[in-house]
Amino acid sequence: MNTLTEKQKMIAGLDYFASDKTLVAERFAVRKQLDLLNSLAQEQVKPRANILKSIFGTTGKRLYIESTFKCDYGYNIHVGENFYANFGCVILDCAPVTIGHDCMLAPNVGIYTAAHPLNPALRNSGLEFAKPITLGNNCWIGGNAVINPGVTLGDNVVVGAGAVVTKSFGDNVVIAGNPAVVINKIDL
């Protein structure tokens, strides 16, 4: 019987130990690349994009992220064409994060796939789990918004500044609040 590695468990959405040597080494390796990215001048567009393309699982040809940017692993992040993230973006990519074409993230957006057990004994044991996040095409995420584990947003979704998105929403809506709710529909 084959036993799954902690990395395989993490990506599969199973309980895993983030203190696993392989996972720790991968996080430290990507942090070195992020330190380089965040040290480059903003006008160094091509070198910045090349670093992101080497970190992320897949990308479109055109992407830009303002400094500072942080992520856990990078290889679980998949962005479409014309991706933009403003200052202070954090993506905890313990599970896949899939972002469609023409998406924009305002300053200080947090996309968090990582979660911890509610039971304190389990949480203190170091167990974690992660749930994937998907953003459709043409999403615009407002400043200081948080996208929580397991959320899927459809195409053309606008997330208001400061929103805490705890559940999934379909296409063509504006959502805001804590927890986020639909406040408007978008007519196309």
Strands (E) located in 101-179: 104-105, 110-112, 114-115, 127-130, 133-135, 140-141, 146-147, 152-153, 158-159, 164-165, 173-177
What is residue 181's three-state secondary structure? strand
Q: 188 pLDDT band (50/70/90 cuts)?
A: confident
The mean predicted confidence, pLDDT, of the chain is 96
pLDDT, position 1: 53
The whole-number average pLDDT for the span 131-154 is 98
Residue 59: both structure tokens together: 């990308």
d(CA 69, CA 79) in angstroms, rounded, equals: 15
Q: What is the DSSP letter of 119?
A: S
CB of 86 closer than 8 Å to CB of 110? no
Q: 185 pLDDT band (50/70/90 cuts)?
A: very high
Which pLDDT tens digit goes with each residue over 115-126? 999 999 999 999
Count the helix, strand and coil residues of the chain and give each as a percent rounded to the nearest 5: 20, 30, 45
Q: Which residues are catalytic?
A: 116
For the entire predicted model, the pTM comes to: 0.96
Write the CA distances from 137 to 16, 27, 99, 101, 107, integer angstroms: 31, 28, 7, 5, 19
Cis peptide before 120 (omega within 30 of 0): no
HSE value, Cβ hemisphere, 13 Å, CA-based, for 83: 23
φ and ψ at residue 14, rounded to 5 degrees:
-90, 165
The whole-number average pLDDT for the span 11-30 is 96
- Counting beta carbons within 10 angstroms of the beta carbon of residue 27, is it exposed (0 to 12), middle (13 to 18) or buried (19 or more)? middle
Residue 178: both structure tokens together: 């804590």
Q: Which domains does the chain possess?
A: 6-152 (2.160.10.10)
Taking 80 as the threshold, does the pLDDT of residue 3 lie above it?
yes
